[in-house]
Amino acid sequence: MQKSTPLLFGAFVALPTVAAELTLSVEVPQINTAEYHRPFAAIWIERPDNTVAGNLAIWYQMPKGEKAGGDKWLKDMRQWWRRSGRELKMPVDGITSATRPVGKHKVEFKNDAFPQGKLAPGQYTLKVEAAREGGGRELVSVPFAWPPTKSQRAVARGKSELGEIALELKP
């Protein structure tokens, strides 16, 4: 019995572990308009073939006093809707939440805590799409490699519905 213990221990120590982290900051800019509505937003990760590796967050609003209805505007985030949104039954536990006010909002994940499970090593693109009632629609993309071999930061900026999108990766 004691002879096999070191072999078992060695097998567990040799297994690769990826404790990488992905932190995302999404800025909702102040827009001066007579009637302002918070944007709906979808945040997801795509593979090089444009298939969805996972949805990270969907921010939308359910109208007060109604059992359904707020999700009917999700299709205004056209690219996300075509890629995976129309296949989801809202709300999705751990992914969907309320719209966000003006400001910077942080979303954090560890490799073992992505909503759809671990993210396999490879090249990906982070996508953030926002649409606003009485406003426009915008999509911002940030390419990255997973898992990161060193700490890195990538920044992209929207022009209207989204502000700065900052992606931080840590091994």
CATH code where residue 118 lies: 2.60.40
Condensed to tens digits (0 to 9), the pLDDT of residues 104-159 reads: 999 998 776 677 778 899 999 999 999 998 889 999 999 999 999 999 999 999 99
Residue 7 lies in a domain: no
Range of the domain at 107: 18-170
| 42, burial (CB in 10 Å: exposed 0-12, middle 13-18, buried 19+) | buried
Residue 29 lies in a domain: yes
Residue 151 lies in a domain: yes
Residue 94 lies in a domain: yes
pTM metric for this prediction: 0.84
Residue 1 lies in a domain: no
Instruction: Give the per-residue pLDDT at 117.
Output: 74
Residue 140 lies in a domain: yes
Residue 8 lies in a domain: no
Query: Looking at the 3D structure of the chain, how many domains does it have?
Result: 1
Condensed to tens digits (0 to 9), the pLDDT of residues 10-64 reads: 333 333 445 789 999 999 999 988 888 899 999 999 999 999 999 999 999 865 6
Q: How far apart are CA 154 and CA 61, in angstroms?
A: 29
Nearest to 161 by CA among 137, 126, 133, 127: 137
Residue 35 lies in a domain: yes
Condensed to tens digits (0 to 9), the pLDDT of residues 11-21 reads: 333 334 457 89
